[in-house]
Chain A
Amino acid sequence: MIEYQVQTMAAKVGDLPRPKKNYLNETKGFWSWAGTLDHKRIGVMYLVGTMFAFLLGGCFALLIRLTLLTPTHKLFGKVLIDAETYNRVFTMHGIIMVFLFIIPSVPAALGNFVMPLMLGAKDVAFPRLNLASFYLWVTGALMAITAMVLGAVDTGWTFYTPYSTTTDGPVTLMTGAAFVLGFSSIFTGLNFIATVHKLRAPGMGWFDMPLFVWGIYSTALIQILATPVLGITLVLLMLERNFGIGIFDPRIGGDPVLFQHFFWFYSHPAVYIMILPGMAIISELIPTFSHKTIFGYRAIAYSSVSLALVSFIVWGHHMFVAGQSQLATVVFSALTFLVAIPSGVKVFNWLGTMYKGNISLDTPMLYAIAFLILFTIGGLTGIFLGTLSTDVHLTDTYFVVAHFHFVMMGGTVTAFLGGLHYWWPKMTGRMYAEKWGRVACVMYTIGFNMTFLTQFFLGAKGMPRRYYNYLDQFQPLHAFSTVGSWVLGSSLFLTAAYLLASLRKPADAPDNPWGGTTLEWHCSSPPITHNFEEQPVVEREPYDYRPVKHA
């Protein structure tokens, strides 16, 4: 039986007897990884894979920004990329970031590693299915890269018809990739729901679960309920493009707006597949680094689930000016405001947790604070966009681009980086260079705001998104945004550098470097293959920072 004990930073290496064998060195060789059923190894493989996707998508992003540095798109007298290529570059940026990076990043990479540990389980419910969904991800990634090599697509990541049914390029292969990635995501979600239902440690009721698990569970609900519709939508799109069913293409009697309904029935909830895990991480970071019980545990747990449910009835707000009926736009606009309620509940509860807490500003906490600021801006601008009258003005401008980057990058990626730093000692057994971590986090926040805060102004002034050309009067703001992207990019490369550098030194991380109370801090760093020496039994609530009374 394991008692909750609050270890502090004072508890350093060597305090506890460290097992010689852990999940990293128990078996060796390629096949011990490629054929592993261990959720921790699968999580690490997902992490490596999604990081490559992030790098690739990030390079496309830097290229986009560099192209927009000047209205002539010239660098040292040469045109950087032409308009056709530009369309392909932003499409690939979107597809890679959405399907290959953000959707699997937190649930499949960090969640796979951490969630069974938090539940006190030995593994996820279906380990072989877990490995299968990783290989589906790999297959999808290879298909997407093949499509990219074959000339890429210029449809935007949304694949809107009729453009996607008529344009050149390997659209079928690319939608096929998204289809396969969708099933990878479905199987991850299925696995996680079954795990949460059946593999909690003895004594752990639903409201004893860490809030990260609640967030991942809500995400998994969406993955199960929405992604199959994406699957069938993409199949219909492929068939429409190649064989002409007559459902989406107006030339043969279809309805392009119907495609948008099908697509956004998945893709709006998918936005919550992306942001809910980010919120889930923040709910871990804030109590740990405030050294204080979370404020409003149940409110945060319920708000995760209700966000997941509300996400299914607001998709039409992506289609306000797409030819949707007035009635539907009004209904969807009104329903969209519901999203603000659980989001607000979360933000206020996090602030309530920090209030009068003993806050230590380690790197993960810095990212959590950055998240609070950036996500709040992203969320509030979402309300502008959900309002019918303002959206008509702002649709398809840089305001939208800035909004979803504040939510997706300022929210999810920031939280992901926070979580990565938080669990890095647990995953690798090594502490990263804390000083560089803080520097990178500050650079990240500054660079992010330079890049994307600027785009709110661009959008409000009328700069349309996805345009290659722009008016000269927008150049100062575009240039400032591009410089910001360099700062942002540098901070991420710096992060990669010091994290990788930490792998070269011997294992030095204590089991519980941050004084966390959840179960993953009660196994060794890195954990042994079966996670816990003994089956943990839960007797206290999560985030209980009261001292343990020893009998």
Chain B
Amino acid sequence: MSTTPIDLPHGAQGAHDAGHGHGDVDPHFQHHFTTMEQQNDTAKIGMWLFLVTEILLFGGLFVGFGLMQGRYPREFVEAHTHLVRWQGSLNTIVLLFSSFTMVMAVDSAKKNKPSKTVWYLVITIICAFVFLFVKYLEYSHKFEEGWYPAKWYRGVGDAIPGSHGYATFFAFYFMMTGLHGIHIVVGIGLLSWILMRARRGEFSSAYYTPVDLVGLYWHIVDMIWIYLFPLYYLIQ
């Protein structure tokens, strides 16, 4: 759902309207703002508002998961112990590191170091792919065991009446990590877009808002994982 474009000001309307009495000739300047600073602040508020909707969207799943855990504590705890801890931990480290490279990309863009920006973005994208690869290993392990989500669940206990806990657990596991994974994929798209523009040298200390906003998006994806990790992988 986050594929819907956030209105990043990348200047499609351009400078032809910039002549409304403020002499700013930045090609990314949009006519309905008075100053570039106002435009950048507005974009940032918009992004933060979008992030809040992301928090609440994931929040609904977290609440649902927590309440279901309360309903089926034994099955959930039992299922938790079979998630692979090192995979979750590795992914946590990878994502934290990618958050660091992301913020460094923003920092270098702000400091007029476009080649550094490019490299930091490349590392961030590589981290994202590493994350997805580990996720792939994780999912295929679950599928081998028959631990499919919801009605496809074929593991132990699916024939025992009243024992819905496992199917529900794996439904939530796949929904939440899956939705998070979709956000990673979208993030890769956004990062690649920023990477292309950074290579064209579009960003400078005067204009780096898109890098900044994609950075915010990437950090919220990281932040959601910060909560997913202990709640799924560290319960015994």
Chain A residues proximal to chain B, CB less than 8 Å: 37, 121-129, 132, 136, 183, 186-187, 189-191, 193-194, 197-199, 224-229, 231-233, 236, 239, 243-247, 252-255, 258, 262, 530, 535
Contacts of B12 in A (CB 8 A): 128
Contacts of A236 in B (CB 8 A): 60-61, 64
Taking the nearest CB of chain A, how far is it from the CB of B44, in angstroms?
Answer: 9
Q: CA A244 – CA B60 in complex, angstroms?
A: 18
Q: Is B56 a contact partner of A229 (Cβ separation < 8 A)?
A: yes
Residues 139-166 of B, flagged 1 when their CB comes within 8 A of A and 0 if not, give 0000000000111100000000010110
Q: Is A129 a contact partner of B53 (Cβ separation < 8 A)?
A: no
> Chain A: which residue is nearest B6 at the CB level?
A129
Taking the nearest CB of chain A, how far is it from the CB of B40, in angstroms?
Answer: 10
Q: CA A245 – CA B67 in complex, angstroms?
A: 13
Contacts of A128 in B (CB 8 A): 5, 7, 12
Taking the nearest CB of chain B, how far is it from the CB of A125, in angstroms?
Answer: 5
Q: Is B60 a contact partner of A239 (Cβ separation < 8 A)?
A: no
Q: Is A243 a contact partner of B42 (Cβ separation < 8 A)?
A: no
Q: CA A190 – CA B45 in complex, angstroms?
A: 9
Q: Is A225 a contact partner of B56 (Cβ separation < 8 A)?
A: yes
> 8 Å CB contacts to A: which residues of B8-46?
12-13, 20-21, 30-34, 38, 41-42, 45-46
Instruction: Kindly identify which residue among A122, A198, A228 contacts B42, using a CB–CB cutoff of 8 Å.
Output: A198
Taking the nearest CB of chain B, how far is it from the CB of A257, in angstroms?
Answer: 11
Interface majority SS (helix, strand, loop, mixed), chain B: helix
Q: Is B46 a contact partner of A125 (Cβ separation < 8 A)?
A: yes
Check: B189 CB closer than 8 A to any chain A CB: no
Q: Is B168 a contact partner of A247 (Cβ separation < 8 A)?
A: yes
Contacts of A37 in B (CB 8 A): 13
Q: Is B162 a contact partner of A253 (Cβ separation < 8 A)?
A: yes
Q: Is A187 a contact partner of B4 (Cβ separation < 8 A)?
A: yes
> 8 Å CB contacts to A: which residues of B51-65?
52-54, 56-61, 64
Instruction: Kindly identify which residue among B1, B31, B167 contacts A246, using a CB–CB cutoff of 8 Å.
Output: B167
Check: B50 CB closer than 8 A to any chain A CB: yes
Contacts of B58 in A (CB 8 A): 232
Q: CA A535 – CA B31 in complex, angstroms?
A: 12
Known: A231-B1, A243-B149, A247-B68. A126 touches B53 (CB 8 A): no
Contacts of A253 in B (CB 8 A): 71-72, 162, 164-165, 168
Check: B229 CB closer than 8 A to any chain A CB: no
> Chain B: which residue is nearest A128 at the CB level?
B7
Number of interface residues of B (CB under 8 A): 47
Contacts of A122 in B (CB 8 A): 31-32
Q: Is A224 a contact partner of B52 (Cβ separation < 8 A)?
A: yes
Q: CA A191 – CA B71 in complex, angstroms?
A: 40
Q: CA A325 – CA B181 in complex, angstroms?
A: 37
Q: Is B32 a contact partner of A239 (Cβ separation < 8 A)?
A: no
Known: A245-B168, A262-B60. A199 touches B32 (CB 8 A): yes
Q: Is B171 a contact partner of A243 (Cβ separation < 8 A)?
A: yes
Taking the nearest CB of chain B, how far is it from the CB of A233, in angstroms?
Answer: 6
Q: Is A190 a contact partner of B49 (Cβ separation < 8 A)?
A: yes
Check: B172 CB closer than 8 A to any chain A CB: yes
Q: Is B32 a contact partner of A258 (Cβ separation < 8 A)?
A: no
Check: B175 CB closer than 8 A to any chain A CB: yes
Q: Is A127 a contact partner of B46 (Cβ separation < 8 A)?
A: no
Contacts of A186 in B (CB 8 A): 53
- Given A132-B4, A197-B45, 19 new contacts (CB under 8 A): A123-B32, A126-B6, A127-B32, A128-B7, A129-B46, A190-B50, A194-B46, A198-B45, A199-B33, A224-B49, A229-B57, A229-B60, A231-B1, A239-B150, A244-B150, A246-B164, A247-B64, A247-B168, A262-B64
Q: CA A252 – CA B150 in complex, angstroms?
A: 10
Contacts of B68 in A (CB 8 A): 246-247
Contacts of A535 in B (CB 8 A): 20-21, 34
> Chain A: which residue is nearest B152 at the CB level?
A243
Instruction: Kindly identify which residue among B46, B72, B152 contacts A126, using a CB–CB cutoff of 8 Å.
Output: B46
Q: Pull 21 A–B residue pairs with CB atoms less than 8 Å apart, ordered by A.
A: A121-B32, A127-B7, A128-B5, A132-B4, A132-B5, A190-B53, A197-B42, A198-B41, A224-B49, A228-B59, A229-B56, A232-B59, A236-B60, A239-B150, A245-B149, A245-B150, A246-B167, A253-B164, A258-B64, A262-B64, A535-B34
Residues 118-140 of B, flagged 1 when their CB comes within 8 A of A and 0 if not, give 00000000000000000000000
Q: Is A239 a contact partner of B46 (Cβ separation < 8 A)?
A: no
Taking the nearest CB of chain B, how far is it from the CB of A472, in angstroms?
Answer: 46
> Chain A: which residue is nearest B56 at the CB level?
A228
Q: Is A229 a contact partner of B32 (Cβ separation < 8 A)?
A: no
Q: Is B150 a contact partner of A194 (Cβ separation < 8 A)?
A: no
Q: CA A124 – CA B56 in complex, angstroms?
A: 24
Taking the nearest CB of chain B, how far is it from the CB of A187, in angstroms?
Answer: 7
Taking the nearest CB of chain B, how far is it from the CB of A135, in angstroms?
Answer: 10
> Chain A: which residue is nearest B171 at the CB level?
A245
Taking the nearest CB of chain B, how far is it from the CB of A159, in angstroms?
Answer: 15
Q: CA A236 – CA B30 in complex, angstroms?
A: 39
Pick the 8 closest A-B CB pairs, nearest first: A126-B7, A232-B60, A253-B164, A246-B168, A122-B32, A129-B7, A228-B56, A123-B32
Q: Is B56 a contact partner of A183 (Cβ separation < 8 A)?
A: no
Q: CA A527 – CA B205 in complex, angstroms?
A: 37
Contacts of B52 in A (CB 8 A): 224-225
Known: A126-B46, A225-B52, A228-B60. A243 touches B151 (CB 8 A): yes
Taking the nearest CB of chain A, how far is it from the CB of B169, in angstroms?
Answer: 9
Instruction: Kindly identify which residue among B5, B50, B53 contacts A227, using a CB–CB cutoff of 8 Å.
Output: B53
Q: Is A228 a contact partner of B46 (Cβ separation < 8 A)?
A: no
Taking the nearest CB of chain A, how far is it from the CB of B111, in angstroms?
Answer: 26
Q: Is B61 a contact partner of A125 (Cβ separation < 8 A)?
A: no
> Chain A: which residue is nearest B67 at the CB level?
A258
Instruction: Kindly identify which residue among A190, A239, A530 contacts B171, using a CB–CB cutoff of 8 Å.
Output: A239
Instruction: Kindly identify which residue among A187, A190, A229, A258 contacts B59, using a CB–CB cutoff of 8 Å.
Output: A229
Q: Is A232 a contact partner of B57 (Cβ separation < 8 A)?
A: yes
